[in-house]
Structure 1
Amino acid sequence: MSRPELRLSSSAFRANIDAVRARVAPSTLMLVLKDDAYGHGLSWAVDAAVHAGIEWFGSYDIRTGLSVRRIAGGDARIFAWVTSTDEEIDHALMQRIDLGVGTLDYLRRIIARAEALGRSARVHLKIDTGLHRNGILPEDWAVAVAEAREAEHAGLLEFAGVWSHIAEASDADDDIAHEAFLDAVRVVRESGANPTALHLTASAASWWRPELRGTISRIGAFCYGIRSAEGPELDGIRPAASLVATVVDLDGDRVSIGIGSFDGLPSTLSGSRVGTPGGARTLVSVGHTASVVEGWPGARVGDEIVVFGAGERGDTSATTLAERIDTVGEEILTRLTPRVRRVVAD
């Protein structure tokens, strides 16, 4: 193996999905796929999720949503929530992608494109519950709801959902956000038919705060086996990917492995523990294309080192590494460059 590999376990991924679904039921799991499925590879993740019975996908942007549509087929529900161009809106309408709408301007542009194309847009309005991340302000909410209902009556829009993000900074702050969300939902219900998709929570809040869940829970990291930084281990969840590199050189009581910062491995991870045939050893330093690891008796060129992941020698997770440098496990995975081959292990 001349290049490092991110080895993907479809069985672990599907087992994680099953564990998350059981945890959040009766809320429906929306599998989030942003950042190329958290660095795992979009095609692999969507295909495995379809086989696991996932019906809702969170694509973040329309471009990713279009790729999901090609892989998952026409029956999947795909939710894209980043504000997009008119051309992207046109593609979304043609491919029946649900659109998350966080501003009045975006809502009006979607309605205008729906009218121009003679198509109906499926829309989820986002209320700002205090995080201030692209949401309609409470003082503008009634206007947005009224315009959405008017477009719905004209056949230009399906008012499919209400959603928001929460900070997950404290239970008290999230309770306040939940109350604001419920108040926004009440305004929508008073205006007409009840939208079926209500979603407020992502991974951590969906897992730990069942009272905050709506009819849908948007979950990405936990499905891939990425726990929250400083958070506890999760029952039934294990990493769906392992980062593996081989020994390329021996130098006394140290070995060189074929992975470095050019592969996306942060140089600040020196001092971390990695899995070797001789047990856990220290990652001494990270170079551009190779790194140095503390040796073990009988080390040989070609031996495999598990930098993180599941398995007999993969007791270090991406989040464990991330905590050393004050970040999150998602960053460790999404930093990996195309030099790291994605390989389906099972």
Structure 2
Amino acid sequence: MTRPELRIRTDRFVSNIHAVRDRIAPSELMVVLKDDAYGHGLDWAVEAARDAGVLWYGTYDVAGGVATRRVLGDDGRIFAWVTSTDAEIDEALARGIDLGVGSQEYLARIVARARERGATARIHLKIDTGLHRNGLLPEEWPQATDEVRRAEADGHVLLVGIWSHLAEASDPEDDEAQTAFLEAVRIVEASGATPEALHLTASAASWWRPELRGTVSRIGAFCYGIRSADGPDIPGVAPVAELVATVVGIEEDAAEISIGSFDGIPSTLVGAEVGTDAGTRALQSIRATTSLVAGWPGMRVGDPVWLFGAGEHGESSATTLAERIDTVGEEILTRLTPRVRRVIVD
């Protein structure tokens, strides 16, 4: 078979989860599963994380939460953070999925759907701490808190979390965001019980800035071994996936490999170093379904070439490739098309 393969290492994923949990303790790990688990496959990621003892799972939308619940069964907590339709709210209520709430309009719809269904919605209220990616403004927060407490008294909602997003643009800006977040927590605490899940940080801030962590830390990229663009390597964490293509032809002093732009490889990656059994070689051109790599002595049809991975054959990481074209490692993974076969390696 000549189709390219994304080889996914379960043992590395589990090892990364353990490294992250050790680093952030006593904060609880929420493994983020957005974009089909960063292109690795949601079902595989949920099964592996569940077997590693993970209790919290973060999905972008309710559909991802429903898929996660299908794998988890009745166990585990699932958090879906994007604003949803009424039909999706109903799905979340039926499947026991926590909802991230960043507007009073969305809060009102959740309360109405829960009242109509005779259910109790578990919600995480979001304060906008400066990123302006959804979230209640500080001036809206006291009124929203009052509305939540009234709905709690009526049995329609349960406030189980307070959360936000960090810009991670600079330490001073993140400090200001934490100040706004803690003020929002203080207001909620003054009105009743403190929610169990307080979560402000994602991968980078959770790892490098312990003072910003809450009771829960949402971590996606680092669990999959994807470091931040322009960021340092993460001790004890390794890339979970490696992208491998096969030599399908020899053209003078170059090897033609079975991957191209139709597979999701950006044409702007020409010049990047890839790995071979003979060491690193330059990626010379990217065509529709094949590419050319600088040749090596004794190269043959059927030889493997590593586009990215853990560096065991001289290849770059996905993030190192991404930095060449001013993007992030997640994009290199998530843009791969279904023609790239996903192969799970235990």
Under a length normalisation based on structure 1, what TM-score does the superposition of the two structures give?
0.99
Q: Tell me which amino acid in the other structure corresponds to 1:57.
A: Y
- Does the 8 A contact of 2:311 with 2:317 survive in 1? no
SS in 1 for 2:36: helix
Matched positions, count: 346
User: Per-residue displacement from partner, 1:34-59 (whole Å, max 9, x unpaired)?
Assistant: 00000111111111111111110001
Percent identity over the alignment is 66
- Does the 8 A contact of 1:242 with 1:314 survive in 2? no
For the residues of structure 2 that align with 1:297 and 1:315, how far apart are their CA atoms? Answer: 18
After TM superposition, the structure 1 = structure 2 runs for residues 24-103 of structure 1, keeping only pairs within 5 Å, are 24-103=24-103
Change (3 A) 1:314 1:20: farther
Match of 1:330? 330
For the residues of structure 1 that align with 2:20 and 2:338, how far apart are their CA atoms? Answer: 29
Q: Tell me which amino acid in the other structure corresponds to 2:31.
A: L
Query: Gapped runs of 5+ residues in structure 1?
Result: none
Match of 2:235? 235
Match of 2:264? 264
Query: Gapped runs of 5+ residues in structure 2?
Result: none
For the residues of structure 2 that align with 1:19 and 1:320, how far apart are their CA atoms? Answer: 22
Match of 1:212? 212
Q: Tell me which amino acid in the other structure corresponds to 1:181.
A: F
CA RMSD of aligned residues (A): 0.7
Give the drift of 1:314: 5.2
Give the drift of 1:310: 2.2
- Does the 8 A contact of 2:131 with 2:166 survive in 1? yes
- Does the 8 A contact of 1:307 with 1:314 survive in 2? no
Match of 2:154? 154
For the residues of structure 1 that align with 2:132 and 2:327, how far apart are their CA atoms? Answer: 22
For the residues of structure 1 that align with 2:52 and 2:117, how far apart are their CA atoms? Answer: 35
Tell me whether 1:11 sits opposite 2:38 in the alignment. no
User: Per-residue displacement from partner, 1:3-30 (whole Å, max 9, x unpaired)?
Assistant: 0000000000000000000110000000
Give the drift of 1:315: 3.7
For the residues of structure 2 that align with 1:311 and 1:132, how far apart are their CA atoms? Answer: 37
After TM superposition, the structure 1 = structure 2 runs for residues 276-295 of structure 1, keeping only pairs within 5 Å, are 276-295=276-295
Q: Tell me which amino acid in the other structure corresponds to 2:19.
A: A
Under a length normalisation based on structure 2, what TM-score does the superposition of the two structures give?
0.99
For the residues of structure 2 that align with 1:222 and 1:196, how far apart are their CA atoms? Answer: 24
For the residues of structure 1 that align with 2:337 and 2:15, how far apart are their CA atoms? Answer: 27
After TM superposition, the structure 1 = structure 2 runs for residues 70-219 of structure 1, keeping only pairs within 5 Å, are 70-219=70-219
For the residues of structure 2 that align with 1:265 and 1:336, how far apart are their CA atoms? Answer: 7
For the residues of structure 2 that align with 1:81 and 1:279, how far apart are their CA atoms? Answer: 44
Change (3 A) 1:311 1:230: closer
User: Per-residue displacement from partner, 1:32-91 (whole Å, max 9, x unpaired)?
Assistant: 000000011111111111111111000110000000000011111000000000000000
SS in 1 for 2:48: helix
